[in-house]
Each structure stands twice: as structure tokens, then as C-alpha cells.
Structure 1
Amino acid sequence: MNEQQKKSVSKFLSLILRHQPEVIGITLDENGWTDVDELIAKMNTSGHRISFDELEEVVETNDKQRFAFSDDYNKIRASQGHSVNISLGLDPQEPPEYLYHGTVAKFLDSIRKEGLQRMSRQHLHLSRDRETAMKVGSRRGIPVILNINTGAMHQDGFLFYLSDNGVWLTDHVPAKYINF
């Protein structure tokens, strides 16, 4: 597969494994997993032809490790970013003292008033390093990087989870914990 084909498959997998599994008629279990053979069969009948080897290549080479196979490679799921109601089965973790969030200037007034919201997703995503937050923010324009005092949040009782691909997840970041 060339890079453009991998990107196209990755985008389609994000759609069906995070947001709309019904597009090809698959179901996700309570932890977001679906059967690999069924996924491949339904992708192929829906016009998105793929083999197991190609699927494995997309999962293994995805720069953000958006997807994961079960240990036996019989199931697959998105690592985080779901808008459908699932539980990733993650235990709360103590976050680093600071994490980062990439956004753009047009959202700053709202963030100053309401903090960071998870919007339609199950969790708000935070990055361990500024570079990753920069990439995230740049998807919508010129990035603005927010420094989040997650150590203080954790001390105040906020819960944090670490996804399989290293993205930190929480439900909300009040404005008082954000360094603009």
C-alpha cells in the first residue's frame, strides 16, 4: 500500500471504529472491540477493499497508533477518540505535573470562560509533549498550545486515563488549571 492508500484506510477505520460502525454494519462490544474477519468482510462488501495483511500494515504503521489489535489479532478497536458509548477499560492513572493541549486562537475566548470540554467525544485528549499538541492544533490552523496543570487537577480529584497509544484522557479541564 502506498501512503495515500494507508491514509484513506486509516480515515475510514477512524470513522467506523470511533463514530459510526453502522456505516458498514459492524457492532462494537462494550470495550470498543469488533471482530477482524467481520470488519474485513464488511469493508470489502462496502467498496473499501482490504486484506488482513493490509489492515495489519495500516495498524502497525499508523503514526499516532490510532488502532490496536487484541493479543490474538482476532479483534480490533480504536485506541481512543470515540463518540460512541464504549469503555476502554482503562484504570485511572496519576498524570505528569503538566500536559498540553493544541487548539487554535478562535476557541480561546470560550476556553477562558468554560475550560476545555470533551465536546462529542467520550474524553478530552491531552498530550505529553508540546510537539504532539502542536500537530493536533495545526489540523485547524495556526496552533496555540495550552499548558495544563494536571498535577494540581489530580490532587483536586480529577481522574486521568492513559490510552494504549499514549494519549492522556480526562473529562474536563476547568479554566483555572490552564496556562494560556
Structure 2
Amino acid sequence: MKAMDDKQLAKTSKFLSLVLRHQPDKIGIELDEQGWVEVATLLAAIRRESRPLTLAQLQEVVTRNDKQRFMFSSDGLRIRAVQGHSIEVELGYEAAAPPEYLLHGTPEQSVAIILETGLKKMKRHHVHLHHDRQTASAVGQRRGKPVLLQIAAGRMHADGYSFYVTPNQVWLTDEVPPAYLSILE
């Protein structure tokens, strides 16, 4: 079978993000309490929506997704989004000690308010942080000129804030108060 081109891959990834992170009811599926859905159920629901997707194509999206947003269960029978849900799920990640500093990319127009009020999870379950500049910059430029914020994650952790790390190395926390933020030059 021919591999998906980049445009097909991006379109399918965005659709999977929508139904596995935000609106599973859009295609008539239900996620379990940890965000999993049976692969067969997902593929059948997508077919009913006239968006045919084969198992091989689904596997390709999971494998080639640049941010590794999705994962299969160890037996390959279920799939879920790794993080970024706006619906209630319990991903079951264990608390972890973060590196001394983490990064958050944000559009330039958001910097002043963030420095004043801190980073909030908004409609998501957690604030997403990264350990590398490239990923943080890519996230920040989605809505404008990116600015990188440095988070004193080690100090936050020492002060009692909890952190979790996902399989694709995104660090999660409930909030980042202003005292732990600075602009990375």
C-alpha cells in the first residue's frame, strides 16, 4: 500500500486529534476513563462518516506523526491521544522529577499576560512544557511570532508542584505561577 503524502497525513492527524482529544461524539465513539478506544470501533466509526481509513493508514499516522500525539496499547487493539485532551480522561502518568528548566512556546501577543498571571491549563488538563527549543518554538509559532518562556521547573518541583512526563516527552503540570517564568533570550 502506498504511503500517505504529507498533506493526507496532516489532515488525518488533525481529525484524529479532534475525535481522540476533544469530540469523540462527533463520530459516535466513547473513550474509556483513560482515553482509550478500540481500534476496530474507531475505524468503523470513521468509515460511517465517509472518511475511510485503513488499519495500515492509522498505524502510519501514529508512527509518522511529528509530535507523537497518539499511541497504541501494548496489544495494539486500542488507541488514544497521549495528551492535550479537553475532555475528562485520566491518563495515569506517574509523577516525575522534571529537569531544572523547561520551555513553553507562546505567541508574542500572549507574553505580557502570561508573565503577569502565569501559565494556566485553560480548557486542557495540563500546561504543556518541553525540554527542547525546537519543539517549544514550533508550538509557539502556531498563532504568531513565537516567544520562548523558561520555566524554573526544578524549583517548582522543590516547592511542591507536581510534574508528569508523557511517552512523547511532553512535561505536564497544572499551572506555572509567574514567579517561575522568564523570557528566554
TM-score (norm 2): 0.96
Q: 1:50 aligns with which of 45, 49, 53?
A: 53
CA apart distance, 1:51: 0.5
Q: 1:86 aligns with which of 70, 85, 89?
A: 89
In 1, distance between residues paired with 2:59 and 2:115?
Answer: 42
Corresponding residue for 2:112?
A: 109
SS of the aligned residue for 1:102 comes to strand
1:126 aligns with 2:154: no
Q: How many residues align?
A: 180
Deviations 1:84-109 (A, max 9, x none): 00011001000000000000121112
1:145 aligns with 2:166: no
In 1, distance between residues paired with 2:45 and 2:108?
Answer: 41
Q: Superposed, which structure 2 residues align to 1:1-180 within 5 Å?
A: 1-180=4-183
The structure 1 segments of at least 4 consecutive aligned residues displaced by more than 3 Å after TM superposition are: none
Deviations 1:31-79 (A, max 9, x none): 1000100100000110211000110011011111000000111000000
Deviations 1:96-149 (A, max 9, x none): 000000001211121122100111000100001111111110111110000100
Alpha-carbon RMSD across the aligned residues, in angstroms, is: 0.7
Give unpaired runs (5+ residues) of structure 2.
Answer: none
Opposite residue 31 of structure 2, the aligned amino acid is: L
Identity of matched residues, %? 51
In 1, distance between residues paired with 2:43 and 2:107?
Answer: 37
Give unpaired runs (5+ residues) of structure 1.
Answer: none
TM-score (norm 1): 0.98
In 2, distance between residues paired with 1:3 and 1:48?
Answer: 17
In 1, distance between residues paired with 2:111 and 2:137?
Answer: 15
In 2, distance between residues paired with 1:105 and 1:11?
Answer: 24
